[in-house]
Amino acid sequence: MTIHTENAYHNAQKQFDIAADILNLDGGYRRLLRVPHREFACNFPVKMDDGQIRIFTGYRVQHNTTRGPAKGGIRYHPDTDIDEVRALAMLMSWKCAVVNIPYGGAKGAVVVDPALLSLGEIERLTRRYATEISFLIGPDIDIPAPDIGTNAQIMAWIMDTYSMHRGHTVPAVVTGKPINIGGSHGRNEATARGLVYILREACEGANISIAGARVVIQGFGNVGGTSARLLEEMGAKIVGVADRGGGIANTKGIDLRQLQAHYDKTGTVAGAPGGDTVSNAELLELPCDILIPAAIENQITARNADRIKAKIVIEAANGPTTPDADTILHDRGVLVIPDILANAGGVTVSYFEWVQGLQEFFWTEREVNAQLERIMVNAFEQVNTVAQARRMPLRTAAYLLAVDRTAQAYITRGIYP
């Protein structure tokens, strides 16, 4: 995956500043919300399979906890750093606020390529990292979840480690767990399903039919792959897919079953039959109706925004479009559906899982999906109403709602002491 040099944290602050300016936000609250509330970094040892000890760097950043406990995923990636974690924690605050669930934002990460570790090494790394951050997390404080490079099994190890320290089982300390230890039905597909609900509403408003629409997806992990399947079921034609290894394109449509079989066998869509080889950069610029960046941040920038051919860009990834690119796309009439709205389905169903864990009362998948649809559709309607009334991009409207809700919570609570 192409990684550009834009600083993700600075971009997140720029997007916040735009909303703060429009809201004429008080200077004190502006300074408060512009930076994380709490940051933690650690260097911890892990014994590898060959007996050697390696040192890994881990982070946990809590941007804001005014509206409720902090919430945010844990990322295992070799290129992560503290600024990326700061940016993602801030985005989580706005994401939770825009769909109006009672959380603040957090994010965690370990600088590691999990593909280079054995399963046992990943478990030992996870349990040590969980121990390092155990004083920061908890069902009433900060609830981690999966992100890039992590999964349900890793959440299970974190939950078990935390529970061992407490002396009793604490299912609600993480979300995204396996169902047999307190996970929620519908969680695995939640981000993609929420994105599709938002896309459906946006397409109706833009008079674009999903049936027959040409879709390009960057990223074929859980979110990208599930989005492709759900959209194909609605009649869309997937004409381009890529991941970090490369991609394929076919104007007649890609056979997703064949592509999935190749991905399951090789771990990448690169080299899959049934399409022409394309790079990640080329994929973003393919002719299409809908472009779904579902990989990492800073993929659509001032360098390539003028060559994006999609009518709609819907951000499944966090921060895939830089502020400069946003301006270019808006001026060209491209509808950008921002990450803090588009991919909030994951944290919404994480909220459902947390509630179920606290109550020890579990819902069916049908109930989960119905509640997810209700919240996502309501959030889109609120954001779209602001955007139409104030003649502004959806991202700005989403930020206005999220920042104002968070600032108002601060104002109502007051500053202690």
The catalytic residues are 107
Cα separation values, 27 from 10, 31, 87, 181, Å: 18, 6, 21, 45
Pull the structure tokens for residue 98: 């825009």
Cβ–Cβ < 8 Å for 89, 54: no
Collect contacts of 46-50 with beta carbons under 8 A, ≥24 apart: 46/121, 46/124, 46/125, 46/128, 47/124, 48/121, 49/118, 49/120, 49/121
Gap between the Cα atoms of 108 and 262, Å rounded: 31
Pull the structure tokens for residue 100: 């109006």
Look at residue 29 and give its three-state secondary structure.
Answer: helix
Cβ–Cβ < 8 Å for 241, 248: yes
Pull the structure tokens for residue 25: 């936000």
Pull the structure tokens for residue 178: 């396996």
Cβ-Cβ contacts under 8 Å for 18 (sequence gap 6 or more)? 323, 396, 399
Gap between the Cα atoms of 299 and 320, Å rounded: 5
> Starting from the edge strand earliest in sequence, which strands make up the sheet with 237-243, in order?
276-278, 246-249, 237-243, 214-218, 290-293, 312-314, 335-337
Query: Quick check: bond before 139 cis, omega within 30?
Result: no
Q: How far apart are the first and last CA of the chain?
A: 47
Cβ–Cβ < 8 Å for 274, 254: yes
**Residue type at 211 in one-letter notation:** A
For residue 56, give the H/E element and its range.
strand 53-64
Buried b (16+ CB within 10 A) or exposed e, 7-29: bbbebbbebbebbbebeebeeeb
